Homo-oligomer: A and B are copies of this chain.
Amino acid sequence: METLSIGQYDLIYNAFSFGFATLAAATLFFWLGIGQVKPQYKTALVVTGLVTFIAAYHYWRIGQSWSDAYTLVDGVHVPTEMVFNAAYRYVDWLLTVPLLLVELILVMSLTRSETVKRATSLGLAALLMVALGYPGEVSDSGGVRWIFGLLSMIPFLWIVYQLYVGLGEAIEKQPESARGLVRTARNVVVASWAFYPIVYFAGAVGIEGATATVIIEVGYTVADLIAKAGFGVLIFMIALRKSEEPMRDGGTKAVPTE
């Protein structure tokens, strides 16, 4: 941990507080909207709110850990004995990243067996991706970071492949009013996740210091807000548009209309 200027410390502290407020508000937005969608989309909104709820809890704890980790001495913030617990992020991702993929599957309203199959395989791949990153993150060795980082890329690439190829056909069968939004939601997942390996490998090549800390913490926060709250708003809009469709489920279960 390095010494931070008052401006640097405050920027990160405020980013964490902003993260908590955004995620807590997003949670309430998704749950208060449950009554507005058809029954088959309610679970998708429940899960969307769970993701932001879990993340809000972790931003609250990260903020507390951040305040405990520094003390102001002669106009600069010096690290205390209480080390900042960056692992809260991994604990959060273990839960939220699989659930994010489950949200997307649920709002697509595939057949029951397809939903279970896709949600399970994508969820497990996401869990594996996050779990493989952890040993590298907590290691002091650049080599260990590279090995686990590269291992973690295997499930990541499999997920990307599944989202574009495996789910491609199902996405094209979504009702027209929602199809573009489903594609955007899929792209947001992939684009926002691309930020995490950049930060991870920045650690492996030894980029550190006060400026790097600011970029990493603020960057993770922005990526989390896009991937969870922003993505959730898309899921909400999809559920709402599909609820307005005259078809029973508006998904691939319906008789093909093409």
Contact = CB atoms under 8 A, between A and B. Distances in A.
Interface of A: 6-7, 10, 13-14, 17-18, 20-22, 24-25, 28-29, 31-36, 39, 42-43, 46-47, 49-50, 53-54, 57-58, 61, 72, 81-83, 85, 87-88, 90-92, 94-95, 138
Copies of this protein, total: 2
Contacts of A36: 39, 42-43
A61 B17 contact: yes
Nearest to A91: B18
A182 to B, nearest CB: 16
Nearest to A58: B21
Given A14-B88, A18-B95, A50 B29 contact: yes
Nearest to A67: B82
Contacts of A43: 33, 36
Contacts of A33: 42-43, 46
A188 B31 CA distance: 30
A234 to B, nearest CB: 12
A34 B31 contact: no
A24 B92 CA distance: 13
A46 B91 CA distance: 27
